[in-house]
C-alpha cells in the first residue's frame, strides 16, 4: 500500500468549478487502510502530521462526530489547504457490513462553499477498488509490543509490518477512531500529535449533490 494514497485517498475532482478549477482541486479523504481496528467513540479523535520524503508536512485531523440511527458512525476528516484559504472537511458515514466497514455516505465542504454530497463518487471508487481481506493484520507480521513516544504522549503499541510493502503501523486502543499512533512507509511518515476530545462536526448547511454543485459553478441550469 502507498501510505499517502491509502491514508488520505486524495481524488482530484475533474470539474470546472470556476474559481477552484483554475488553481485548486477538490479533495476527498478516506480512512487509513488498516481495517479490522475500527474503534469509534463519539466525540473523540486524533490530530496527525504527515511528513513526506521531500520534507513537506501536512497536518490533519480525524474524529467521530456523531452516531447515525442505523448504527453507523460519522467520521470527520479535516486538512489544511493553503490554496483554498482554509481547511477542507469531509465526513463519512461508516457502517459495519459483514466483517467489513463500508462508507455509506460522504459529505465534503470547502472554504466558502456549501457542503457537497460526494456519496456517488465514493461508491464508484469503492466499486473500482480491489477487494482485500477486511482485517489488514491478516497480511501483516506481528512485530510485538513497543513503546512509542509522540507529541501526544507515550503509548504501548502493537507493531505490525505489512507483508506486501513493509509499511510499519503502531496501534493503541487508546486512540480513536483507528487506533493509529504512528505509520511509516516508503513515501511518508504519519505521527499522532494530539488526542481530540469533545469533537463536533465543522460541516454546516444543507448538502447539495455533486451534480448540482457542478451545474451551479458551470453556470448551467438544473435539469
- The CATH number linked to 196 is 2.50.20
Phi, psi dihedral angles at 142 (to 5 degrees): -80, 115
Residue 32 confidence (pLDDT): 60
Question: Distance between CA atoms of 189 and 52, rounded to whole angstroms?
Answer: 7
Q: Is residue 139 part of a domain?
A: yes
Q: Which of 11-20, 59-68, 90-99 has the highest mean pLDDT?
A: 59-68
Q: Residue 38's pLDDT band (boundaries 50, 70, 90)?
A: confident
- Pair 122, 26: CB distance under 8 Å: no
Q: Is residue 123 part of a domain?
A: yes
Q: Is residue 88 part of a domain?
A: yes
Q: Is residue 56 part of a domain?
A: yes
Q: Which domain holds residue 72?
A: 3-218
Question: Distance between CA atoms of 194 and 135, rounded to whole angstroms?
Answer: 26
pLDDT at 3 over 60: no
Q: Is residue 127 part of a domain?
A: yes
Q: Is residue 102 part of a domain?
A: yes
Q: Is residue 223 part of a domain?
A: no
Q: Is residue 205 part of a domain?
A: yes
- The predicted model scores a pTM of 0.79
Structural domains counted in the chain? 1
Amino acid at each position: 500500500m502507498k501510505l499517502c494514497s491509502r491514508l488520505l485517498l486524495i481524488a482530484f475532482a475533474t470539474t470546472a468549478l470556476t474559481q477552484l478549477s483554475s488553481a485548486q482541486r477538490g479533495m476527498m479523504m478516506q480512512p487509513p487502510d488498516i481495517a479490522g481496528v475500527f474503534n469509534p467513540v463519539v466525540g473523540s479523535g486524533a490530530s496527525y502530521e504527515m511528513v513526506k520524503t521531500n520534507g513537506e508536512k501536512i497536518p490533519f485531523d480525524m474524529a467521530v462526530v456523531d452516531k447515525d440511527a442505523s448504527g453507523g458512525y460519522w467520521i470527520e476528516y479535516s486538512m489544511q489547504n493553503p490554496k483554498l484559504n482554509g481547511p477542507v472537511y469531509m465526513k463519512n458515514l461508516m457502517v459495519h457490513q459483514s466483517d467489513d466497514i463500508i462508507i455509506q455516505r460522504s459529505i465534503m465542504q470547502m472554504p466558502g462553499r456549501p457542503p457537497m454530497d460526494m456519496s456517488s463518487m465514493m461508491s464508484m471508487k469503492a466499486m473500482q477498488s480491489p477487494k482485500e481481506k477486511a482485517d489488514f493484520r491478516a497480511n501483516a507480521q506481528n512485530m510485538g509490543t513497543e513503546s512509542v513516544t509522540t507529541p501526544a504522549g507515550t503509548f504501548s503499541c502493537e507493531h505490525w509490518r505489512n507483508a506486501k510493502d513493509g509499511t510499519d503501523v503502531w496501534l493503541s486502543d487508546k486512540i480513536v477512531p483507528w487506533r493509529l499512533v504512528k505509520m511509516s512507509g516508503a513515501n511518508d511518515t504519519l505521527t499522532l500529535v494530539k488526542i481530540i476530545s469533545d469533537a463536533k462536526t465543522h460541516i454546516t448547511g444543507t448538502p447539495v449533490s455533486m451534480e448540482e454543485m457542478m451545474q451551479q459553478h458551470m453556470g448551467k441550469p438544473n435539469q
